[in-house]
Amino acid sequence: MISKKLKTDDGSDSSITDGKPLIIAGPCSAESPEQLLSVAQELKSIGKVSYMRAGVWKPRTTPNSFEGYGTEALIWLNQVKQETRIPFATEVANEKHVYEALKFGVDLLWIGARTVSNPFAVQEIASALRGVQIPVLVKNPLSPDLKLWEGAINRLRLAGVKEVGAIHRGFTVWHASPFRNFPMWEVALQLKANNPELRVISDPSHISGDSQYIELLSNRAINLGFDGLMVEVHPNPRLALSDAKQQLTPNQFKDMLCNLFEASNPNAELMTELRAEIDAVDELLVWALSHRMAIATEIAKVKYETGQSIIQPDRWNEVLNRVIGKGHKMGLRADFVKRLFNSIHRESLQTQEAITQNQTKMVKFG
């Protein structure tokens, strides 16, 4: 069994529980020994980075995409660690990954969103880590399923992993938005509230999907009380083999940390970030309304074919009472919900009436 921690230059152990902001940074993917050494030296000079991150196995959506160099990249990372004395972290998705990473001296592991969404895979990793004392961070699953996220964390705890933390990387949305993944901060904050001892950091790179939003999202995370950040940093993002758009240069990353932790007014950019979130929510609302009207169109066709009335008061009262009740539970005023949904209902009725009139004309004029 492996149970060790890296001694850093000041003689302290590498840990996720030392009370300092947990800052993890590095390239999305380990691409070459030269790339890793360049990033490690830059991060080391900044002085605030707890671990350098680099993916060696990349779970890609599209076949034939760059999927990482695997064990070869672990050898590079180990060599860079020996030269720079900076601890390194990587993602694992199965038992084999765990054993390979431990063999080459990894200092921290994280489990990605796709893997966390599969309890079988998480259990396999937890079993492989039984008796191994190494920090492990758990990203949120793809969907905002708090129980699934907590379940993954508890599987590791039950396996005896003492240093377990969480990474908030946002949640998958089903259409285009300003962000790659929607933040839904409240889910991560609820996880923290349920587990006060748990260190929860945010991954603004994967939430944003675009380097222009990373500092804004990092600022919001720190203001909300997150325990640190995981940020993708590449010596030349434009040439990155994966996630090029969401990686910062070392200088951009250094400036961001200065603004976050040393600037006199860390809230200066908060309004910009909040407005970006509003824009994302507005796009979701427009999508939901469009989808609702599309369904109303299909309902109108069924009503016409079955001879049903367009206006059905009992059904509408049932809908209205249900949404008012749900709104109340979520802190929305009943009169606001009622006015909003009555407006939606009027538009839906107009849509259905237009469909019915069109159907009648088609029958009449054949």
pLDDT at position 167 is 98
Contacts for 268 with CB less than 8 Å, ≥ 6 apart: none
What is the token pair recorded at 232? 């993708």
pLDDT at position 11 is 37
Closest C-alpha among 103, 101, 109 to residue 135? 109
The CA-atom distances, in angstroms, between 236 and each of 13, 248, 366 are: 31, 8, 65
CB 246 within 8 A of CB 208: yes
| pLDDT per position as a tens digit, 338-361 | 999 999 999 999 988 888 887 776
| pLDDT per position as a tens digit, 135-161 | 999 999 999 999 999 999 999 999 999
Which DSSP letter does residue 307 get?
T
Rounded Cα–Cα distance for residues 180 and 178 (Å): 7
Measure CA 40 to chain center. 25
The β-bridge partners of 171 are 182
User: What CATH number was assigned to the domain covering residues 22-268?
Assistant: 3.20.20.70
Q: Residues of CATH 3.20.20.70 domain(s) within the chain?
A: 22-268
Rounded Cα–Cα distance for residues 320 and 322 (Å): 5
β-pair type (108-111, 88-92): parallel
Q: With H, G, I as helix, E, B as strand and everything else as coil, classify residue 229.
A: strand
What is the token pair recorded at 245? 């758009």
CB 258 within 8 A of CB 308: no
| pLDDT per position as a tens digit, 271-305 | 777 787 788 788 878 888 998 999 988 888 888 88
pTM of the model: 0.78
Q: Residues of CATH 1.20.59.10 domain(s) within the chain?
A: 271-365
Domain 271-365 is in which class?
mainly alpha
Closest C-alpha among 258, 203, 197, 209 to residue 89? 203
